[in-house]
Structure formats: C-alpha cells, structure tokens
C-alpha cells in the first residue's frame, strides 16, 4: 500500500509538468514580439522582464521552461528522497527574490561551508558531512547534521541569482581563458586565473565558472550538486546520499539515485538554462557618468562588461540556438582573483585559495538584497570598500571620489 502511494505521488510529480508543454509564448507585447523575430540575436535580450524565459522560445522548448519552473518552485517530499538532512524544501526557497530564479530574500537563507587545515594540508571535511553543510533542516526522527567540532572555518554563503545562467554556461572555455593572466604579464596588478574542477557529468576536468569560487564547471553539474546538498535528493551524477556527522544515516534507505533517471534534475536545468538575463535599464545622465567612472577606476579589469557565447558549431549541444552567439552583459571575467584579507574566509575549493573569489557578475545587481559571498551588507558602497588584494588600487580610487561621483557610479551599477 505504501509502495502504491509512493508510486502515485511520483507519477503525479513526474507527469504533471507535461501538461504545461503546449503553452503559448509568454505574453510579450505583439509589437515587441514581431521586432524580436526580425532582429539579430544580441539585441533580442533587451526585451525581457526579470524572471522571463529567453525571448523567442516556441512550443516544446517553452514547455520545458514551464515544467522546470514548476519543479523549481515545488516543495519536495520525504517519499521521493528529501533529506535525511537538508537545507530547504525547494530551490525557490533560496532563489526566490524578487521573482523565481533570483537570490535570497532573508539572511536566514544563508548556508555554510566548512573546512580546516590539518598538518599544512587543506581538508574539506566532506567525510564529516562537510564542505557545503546540509544542516538547516532534518526529516523528523532522523539525526540532525551538526557543525563538526573539527571545523576551523565556517563560512556563510549567499545564494546567487540564476538569471542568464544558460548564457554563462554557453561561453566557451577559450573565451574565459583568453582573459586569464595568472602571472600578471601585462603588469596591471590584476592576475585572474581559472579554477580547474572535476565535472561528474562529463567525467573530466574543466574550467570552473559557477559558484562564488568558480567551483563548478557547468550548469548541469551545479544542478545535481544543489539537489543533493540543498534538498538531500541524489541523482545519476551524484548517486549517493551524503553522510550525517560522518556516518550513513539510519534514515538513508535509498537504493540507487532517488531522482533515478535524472528527470527532475534535468527539469531544474531546463528552467535555469532558459531564464533570460536580467534586463538592463536605460542610463540617465548620472548613470552615464557612472559608467565612465566604472571604466576609469579599473573595475572593468575584472568586471568585464561582456563575454560572447559560443557559436553552434562549437556547442552543438546547446538546449536552444537562442543561446548561441549572444552577448552576455554579465560584468565578469569568471576568473579567480586574490581579494585580500577582508574577504578571506579560509575555505579552499578546487584550486581557489582562502582569499580567492570569482569576479561576481554585476548584472541583476539592482534586484539583489544582500551583497558579497556571505551577504554581509545591503549597501553597494560597503561591498566595494571590502575589495582588497588585486582590487586595492581600484577600491582606493573609489574611496577618493567625491560623493556625487560615487553616487553616479552606484546609479550605474543599479541600472544593471
Ligand atoms: C538553502 C538555500 C539554497 C537552496 C534551497 C538552493 N540553493 Fe542554489 N545556491 C545557494 C547558495 C548559497 C549558492 C552559492 C553557493 C556558492 O557559490 O558557494 C547557490 C548557487 C546556485 C547556483 C550557481 C549560480 C551561479 O551563477 O554561480 C545554481 C545553478 C543553483 N544554486 C541552483 C540551485 C538549484 C537547482 C536548487 C534546487 C535543487 C537550489 N539551487 C537550491 C543556496 C541555495
Ligand atoms: C581584482 C578584480 C576586481 C576588481 C578590480 C573589482 N572587483 Fe568587484 N568584485 C570582485 C570579486 C572577486 C567580487 C566577489 C567578492 C566576494 O563576494 O567575496 C566582487 C564583488 C563586487 C560587488 C558585489 C556584487 C554582489 O552581487 O555581491 C560589487 C558591487 C562590485 N564588486 C563592484 C566593483 C566596483 C564598482 C569596482 C571598481 C571600483 C570593482 N568591483 C572592482 C572582483 C573585482
């Protein structure tokens, strides 16, 4: 009987999204739609609203966006594998502000990473339930995950916005590597380097690009990791439940991946890959001046305004051709930079050291509540003042600006 109930619940969850498949295009105003269809790709993106799918998605592919959104928003159940320990019931719980696909709306949604140094070597404490902790919630009757006493570093992490994730995923590795300058050969004080990390999905090392430390190379890898870490559901690329306090939990009765064919994981991926990038606002006089200041302070050395996505012959696997040959205005080089002591958190991931961070993309900044990797501030100028290391010269110039010039710069950032 219990089996039957479980089967029914699973059938509903798995097939429900299919009902969305025949939905029509989102209600963009018809004039804009006509214009979009006659345009070359890069300009197309300007027409979307926050949380919209990429423009120009028709039929089945738009259905996949809707199904993915449904899965992203729904609460997961113990019967399908939730937990035993987990951080929240749904993806949207931490990626819901101001709309689905956004970032955290309350500081309570912060999660933690842990680590320590044992005899000079970094230890991610994964064997004790570590590096990203799934310790905020527990299925009733199961053992909760505690912060291990051995953890020397406990570092808070704020959720990223997911708008435009498909574009970030579609940038070729060669494009990212072309901006790297690990030995600072051009002597500008900026020496971005790529993280190199293992992809369980593709079974090889690749250039990292997602996450605060660029510690996941592809969107599908991050998706599987988020499912097991945040919700406690295993899937084909991440087939086992994590341990609780170093041991297999008595509640872990899973035999094989809980999302057994990866269907739900792929649904999440579809939604994120098809989410349009954040719309950029028109610049008024102050923001136009701010843009010039942004360039002159050297912010652009790391926050590179635009990277172009791969073309279809380089990436025939792209979920939609709309993602090919696009200009992604993300304001990041996706590389790691040494950012000084104020931002050092002790955690090392891949080759990223304790004070190294991926240049945070600035698109979507106007719709975020909390800034920096640990969400420590709601004030954009404080986020800039915390920059150090390779960004010291740039930060010092910012601090020396007259207050009207600082305001112009912030107005520009708020247009992104
Ligand atoms: C409890 C909060 C929480 C939940 C629930 C959650 N996330 Fe996240 N998410 C985060 C945090 C924190 C980060 C940043 C982690 C880091 O970079 O160290 C993040 C980052 C991401 C990123 C990387 C984006 C980028 O540009 O770097 C993706 C993709 C993502 N999450 C997908 C998901 C999916 C899919 C789900 C549901 C299966 C999910 N998240 C559920 C907190 C959460
Ligand atoms: C050396 C590279 C580098 C330079 C130069 C640089 N940044 Fe950053 N920026 C980063 C990194 C890396 C982060 C993420 C740091 C973290 O969260 O610990 C970041 C984060 C930010 C954030 C917070 C974004 C968020 O969503 O939390 C803002 C705002 C920002 N930078 C603006 C600027 C401005 C304005 C300038 C020029 C005055 C500048 N940056 C110069 C690398 C750089």
pLDDT tens profile 86-142:
999 999 999 999 999 999 999 999 999 999 999 999 999 999 988 899 999 999 999
Ligand 1 pocket, 54 CB below 6 A? no
Q: How confident is the model at residue 42 (pLDDT cuts 50, 70, 90)?
A: very low
Please say if the pLDDT value at position 40 is more than 60: no
Q: State the pLDDT at residue 10.
A: 53
Ligand 1 pocket, 345 CB below 6 A? no
In sequence order, the β-bridge partners of residue 97 are: 103
What is the assigned CATH class of domain 285-413? mainly alpha
Global pTM reads 0.92
Q: Report CA(387)–ligand 2 centroid distance (Å).
A: 6
Question: Among 263, 218, 212, which residue's Cα sits nearest to residue 371?
Answer: 212
Average pLDDT value for residue range 53-81:
96
Q: State the pLDDT at residue 130.
A: 85
- β-bridge pairing 137-138 and 153-157: unpaired
Ligand 1 pocket, 235 CB below 6 A? no
Q: State the pLDDT at residue 25.
A: 35
Q: State the pLDDT at residue 58.
A: 83
pLDDT in tens, 352-398: 999 999 999 999 999 999 999 999 999 999 999 999 999 999 999 99
Average pLDDT value for residue range 308-325:
96
- Ligand 2 site: residues with CB under 6 angstroms? 190, 297-299, 301-303, 337, 339, 343, 357, 359-360, 365, 368, 371-373, 380, 383-384, 387, 390-391, 394-395, 398, 413
Q: What's the mean per-residue pLDDT of the chain?
A: 91
Counting ligands in written order, the one closest to the CA of 111 is: 1
Exposure string (b/e) for 145-167, b if CB count within 10 Å is 16 or more? bebbeebebebebbbbbbbbbbb
CA distances from 268 to 15, 54, 238, 346 (A): 15, 15, 15, 31
Average pLDDT value for residue range 195-207:
97
Please say if the pLDDT value at position 339 is more than 70: yes
Which residue minimizes the CA distance to atom 2 of ligand 2? 302
Q: Give the DSSP letter of residue 280.
A: P
214, 391, 408, 409, best to mutate for ligand 2 pocket (most atoms within 8 Å of CB): 391
Output the 3-class SS for 35-51. HHHCCCHHHHHHHCCCC
Please say if the pLDDT value at position 29 is more than 90: no
94, 154, 223, 228, best to mutate for ligand 1 pocket (most atoms within 8 Å of CB): 94
Please say if the pLDDT value at position 41 is more than 60: no
Domain boundaries, the chain: 48-188+196-273, 285-413
Ligand 1 pocket, 93 CB below 6 A? yes
Q: State the pLDDT at residue 17.
A: 43
pLDDT > 70 in the chain, percent: 89
Angle (CA) 284-289-292 rounded to 5° is: 130
């Amino acid at each position: 009987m219990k089996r039957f109930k479980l089967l029914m619940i699973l059938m509903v969850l798995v097939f429900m999204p299919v009902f969305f498949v025949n939905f029509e295009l989102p209600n963009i105003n018809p004039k804009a739609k006509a214009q979009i269809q006659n345009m070359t790709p890069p300009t197309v993106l300007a027409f979307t609203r926050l949380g919209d799918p990429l423009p120009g998605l028709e039929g089945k592919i738009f259905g996949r966006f809707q199904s993915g959104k449904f899965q992203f928003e729904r609460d997961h159940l113990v019967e399908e594998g939730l937990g035993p320990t987990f951080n929240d019931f749904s993806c949207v719980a931490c990626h819901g502000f101001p709309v689905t696909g956004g970032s955290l709306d309350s500081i309570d949604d912060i999660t933690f990473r842990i680590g320590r140094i044992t005899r000079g070597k970094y230890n991610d404490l994964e064997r004790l339930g570590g590096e990203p902790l799934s310790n905020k919630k527990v299925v009733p009757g199961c053992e909760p995950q505690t912060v291990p006493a051995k953890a020397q570093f406990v570092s808070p992490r704020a959720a990223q916005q997911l708008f435009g994730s498909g574009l970030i995923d579609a940038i070729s590795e060669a494009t990212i590597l072309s901006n790297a300058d690990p030995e600072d050969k051009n002597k500008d004080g900026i020496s971005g380097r790529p993280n190199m990390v293992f992809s369980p999905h593709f079974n090889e090392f690749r250039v990292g690009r997602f996450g605060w430390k660029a510690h996941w190379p592809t969107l599908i890898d991050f998706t599987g990791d988020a499912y097991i870490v945040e919700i406690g559901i295993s899937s084909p690329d991440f087939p086992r439940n994590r341990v609780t306090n170093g041991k297999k939990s008595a509640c872990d009765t899973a035999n094989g991946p809980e999302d057994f064919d990866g269907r739900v994981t792929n649904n999440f991926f579809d939604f994120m890959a098809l989410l349009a990038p954040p719309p950029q606002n028109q610049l008024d006089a102050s923001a136009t001046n701010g843009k010039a200041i942004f360039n002159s302070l050297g912010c652009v050395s790391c926050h590179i305004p635009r990277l172009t996505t791969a073309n279809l012959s380089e990436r025939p696997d792209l979920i939609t051709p709309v993602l090919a040959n696009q200009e992604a205005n993300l304001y990041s080089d996706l590389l790691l930079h040494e950012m000084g002591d104020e931002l050092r958190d002790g955690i090392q991931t891949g080759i990223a050291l304790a004070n190294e961070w991926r240049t945070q993309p600035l698109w979507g900044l106007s719709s975020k509540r909390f800034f920096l990797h640990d969400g420590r501030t709601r004030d954009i100028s404080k986020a800039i003042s915390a920059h150090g290391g390779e960004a010291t010269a740039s930060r010092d110039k910012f601090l020396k600006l007259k207050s009207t010039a600082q305001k112009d710069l912030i107005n520009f950032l708020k247009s992104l």
